[in-house]
Amino acid sequence: MKGCHLEDGTLFLSFREKTMLDHLTPVVILVEPQQPGNVGAVCRAMANFGLDQLRLVNPCDPFHPEAIKFSVSARPLLGQAELFSDLASALEDVHYSVALTRRGGRLRGELETIEEVFSHGVKLPSGSRLGLVFGREDCGLSTQEVAMCSHAATIATSGKTASLNLAQAVVVTLYELSRQRTVEDLTEKNLPTQSQIEVLFGQMETLVERIGYTNPSRPEVVPTVLRRLINQAQPDVRELNILRGLINQLEQSVHDWPGKRRG
């Protein structure tokens, strides 16, 4: 709530409706950013929207003069940014993540715009950690990195050049997030972190290989599709444990089975 006095001295109160920036804990994750100026500009964009959690995966020098220059008054964010050696580590404690990418495809699935994802695709309890994942300036995110995230989204453009500058993409994404009003109350839903979900994925991949449900020429297809199915379902901790129990039981059932390879 804000207060200000009008010319006649009357106190005028204005209320800002809470948005998803208030409802969730957004974490900006940059995967191998190459230009220090972009890292600094991202910090400035985050400060514009009141965010302070930045994670850098194998970055360029975040304290390069260009990074400091473009961060302007958001320089403190450079100093408190967390550094990671790989995306999986950066996502470990995240409850839901959105990979920003320009490219769709068979393994990436059909891409929705960030507006569509934020308006109806993200249903999380208050305080959940939301990871916003951005790729390299020259080639973006790999298909494997996109598969690590809960959802893939794109920023709609109308020109011949579809990809945005890294810092611009972050600004647009945070703006869209700030426009979305607080979603339904899901405080009773206990969501697993990405590291807990990865345990299930590991079990599933082992079982798929064990029973021979693989394509030798493209072994990544089945695990990637299964990842996308689970991520889209957004299971809570109880549902995740049921799935893990089912996989454990299946593993025991086929323990002595020689398996049958597809194709």
Question: CA of 236: how far to CAs of 72, 123, 224, in Å?
Answer: 41, 12, 20
For residue 66, what pLDDT is reported? 97
Q: Give how far the C-alpha of residue 118 lies from the chain's centroid of Cα atoms, to the nearest Å.
A: 12
Instruction: Tell me the CA end-to-end span of the chain in Å, nearest whole number.
Output: 64
The closest of 173, 28, 17, 148 to 88, measured between CA atoms, is 148
Strand-pairing partners, residue 31, are 57
CA angle 100, 231, 210 (to 5 degrees): 120
Q: What are phi and psi of 4, to 5 degrees?
A: -150, 155
Could you tell me the residue ranges of all domains in the chain? 20-179, 194-253
**164-202: pLDDT as tens digits:** 999 999 999 999 999 887 655 555 678 899 899 999 999
The closest of 180, 77, 97, 174 to 141, measured between CA atoms, is 97
The closest of 91, 100, 143, 141 to 118, measured between CA atoms, is 100
- At 62, list the tokens: 């975040």
For residue 145, what pLDDT is reported? 94
How far, in Å, CA of 103 to CA of 136, rounded? 13
**76-128: pLDDT as tens digits:** 999 999 999 999 999 999 999 999 998 776 666 678 899 888 876 567 888 88
Is the CATH number 1.10.8.590 carried by domain 194-253? Answer: yes
Pick the CATH number of 20-179 from 3.40.1280.10, 1.10.290.10, 3.30.565.10, 3.10.20.30: 3.40.1280.10
Greatest CA separation found in the chain? 86
| Sign of torsion over alpha carbons 59, 64, 66, 67 | positive
Q: Is the pLDDT of residue 258 over 70?
A: no
**What DSSP character marks residue 74?**
G
**Could you tell me which residue, 233 or 70, shows the higher pLDDT?**
70
**20-69: pLDDT as tens digits:** 888 889 999 999 999 999 999 999 999 999 999 999 999 999 999 999 99
**134-159: pLDDT as tens digits:** 999 999 999 889 989 988 999 988 87
What DSSP string runs through 159-213?
SS--PPPHHHHHHHHHHHHHHSBP----TT--PPPHHHHHHHHHHHHHHHHHTT-
**203-253: pLDDT as tens digits:** 998 888 888 888 788 888 888 888 888 887 888 899 999 999 999 888 888
- Relative to beta strand 129-134, strand 25-31 is parallel
pTM: 0.80
What DSSP string runs through 10-30?
-EEEE-PPPBHHHHSEEEEEE
Helix (H) or strand (E) holding 244: helix 237-253
